[in-house]
Amino acid sequence: MDFRSPRLRTGLLLGTAFAAGVALGPASGLLGRHFGYDFGFSALAAQDGNRADTYRLLTLFGDVFERVRAEYVDQVDDKDLIENSINGMLTGLDPHSSYMNAKAFRDMQVQTKGEFGGLGIEVTQDNGFIKVISPIDDTPASKAGVKAGDLITALDGKTVQGLSLQDAVDRMRGPPNSKISLTIKREGVDKPLEVSMLREIIHIQVVKSRMEPDNIGYVRLSQFTEQADAGLKQAVRSLRQQAGGKLRALILDLRNNPGGLLDQAVAISGDFINQGEIVSTRARHTEDAQRWDAKGSDIMDGAPLVVLINGGSASSSEIVAGALQDHHRAVLLGTRSFGKGSVQTVIPLPGNGAMRLTTARYYTPSGRSIQGLGISPDVPVAESREEQPRFGAEREADLNHVLKNQGGTQDAARPPRSDLPPIAKEIPTKPPQGFPKFDPAKPDETDFQLQEALVLAKAMAAQSRVTAN
């Protein structure tokens, strides 16, 4: 992974990060003397308006540290205590800041390259349990029927409560063909589910595509890894060839895409926008604000674009959806997105670990902060007819220590779209009575949102052709 450019490397890594989640606090000067480190607390205290309180709290931590070392029922490794303390300092700030030891940092680097070992699920921590953000397509978890929103309560019969997220991820990983059993609590199901599967080496195919009727292309993007932009461009080239150079419209499916790398979100947005702002970030210090603009050309040559989003579309997915919506380059169909509008900077630390620190909020081209709010679709269409009860946090706003939404224009201030085809008002907001349950093997027959996206794309293509004539 490349950690260049201001503040090393800025990445939005919701769900792909292996954060540990135990309660911790800062280190002290006592620890610095004990281990020969300079933590710089003299400068910290000098900057603080109340030096006495700062020193008192640091002394308190040192006292607790020494008491644990001396009197805890089992001998505890000093390294574990300090790493736990650092991680607690960060995880207490917001849901996405965390400390990664050397192993966790290597895991993150491998995963963002699109290949890693395990089950193929994006996870986060939720009230002591492990929550599935999204299963990755064509992985053991996806094939076993694991769903976004599932709560993993036990691994091989042992509870995950008390485990950090990193520890839980480590237990889910293992040699290929080794068996693991997950106990899952699922919305709408009264009894726990036992799901068994075999681990595999996960090679993420982040881009999938196929041709739909009427020369309408479909591209699914499951993650924003380093291969995302190149894969999308290749998929569009292939679809154009299949259509004999007459690709009428494109459906970009970002549902249950938990995000990934910021530079890939910027590049993919720029694949459809000729010029103008894609996203901006505002940090604590005004001089650290940044803005990214489109620099390429529209790979679809202005052909209609429909983007599918839902509650599992987070982070980088929301950057792309927000940019395309604000520029009126695409019509968004589905349900409100997750609402992660913060930027994490990955900062390598001595000892080969790293710190993931929330350093900024990002804003769409119209100035919206979607932090805790999400992106609202232009054409709302639910995945199923009946609302299902939810277990635990469903969106960013439901998480603990969530970052406040501030500094942006309100979504209501965005002028209503006037470029939607008339049929957009006729598209139903939910499936009809008796609509079949979703079957991944038969998406065109059981995926209601996709069906309506095809109706919309076809109408937009017809409208575009009339306008061109």
Which H, E and C letters describe the chain, residue by residue? CCCCCCCCEEEECCCCCCCCCCCCCCCCHHHHHHHCCCCCHHHHHHHCCCHHHHHHHHHHHHHHHHHHHHHCCCCCCHHHHHHHHHHHHHHCCCCCCEEECHHHHHHHHHHHCCEEEECCEEEEEECCEEEEEEECCCCHHHHCCCCCCCEEEEECCEECCCCCHHHHHHHHCCCCCCEEEEEEECCCCCCCEEEEEECEEEECCCEEEEEEHHHEEEEEECCECCCHHHHHHHHHHHHHHHCCCCCCEEEEECCCCCCECHHHHHHHHHCCCCCCEEEEEEECCHHHCEEEECCCCCCCCCCCEEEEECCCCCCHHHHHHHHHHHCCCCEEEECCCCCCCEEEEEEECCCCCEEEEEEEEEECCCCECCCCCCCCCCEECCCCCCCCCCCCCCCHHHCCCCCCCCCCECHHHCCCCCCCCHHHHHCCCCCCCCCCCCCCCCHHHHCHHHHHHHHHHHHHHHHHHHHHC
Instruction: Spot the catalytic one: 137, 263, 326, 447.
Output: 326
Q: 306 near 250, Cβ under 8 Å?
A: yes
**Residue 326 appears among annotated catalytic residues:** yes
Q: 271 near 299, Cβ under 8 Å?
A: yes
Return the bridge partners of 283, or none: 360
CB proximity list for 218: less than 8 A, separation 6 or greater: 209, 210, 211, 212, 250, 251, 253, 450
**Residue 28 appears among annotated catalytic residues:** no
Q: How far is CA 101 from CA 35, 112, 166, 348, 350, in A?
A: 18, 17, 10, 10, 10
Instruction: Spot the catalytic one: 134, 222, 315, 369.
Output: 315
Q: 375 near 132, Cβ under 8 Å?
A: no
Instruction: Spot the catalytic one: 164, 340, 378, 447.
Output: 340
d(CA 365, CA 293) in angstroms, rounded, equals 9
**Residue 442 appears among annotated catalytic residues:** no
Q: Which residues are tagged catalytic?
A: 315, 326, 340
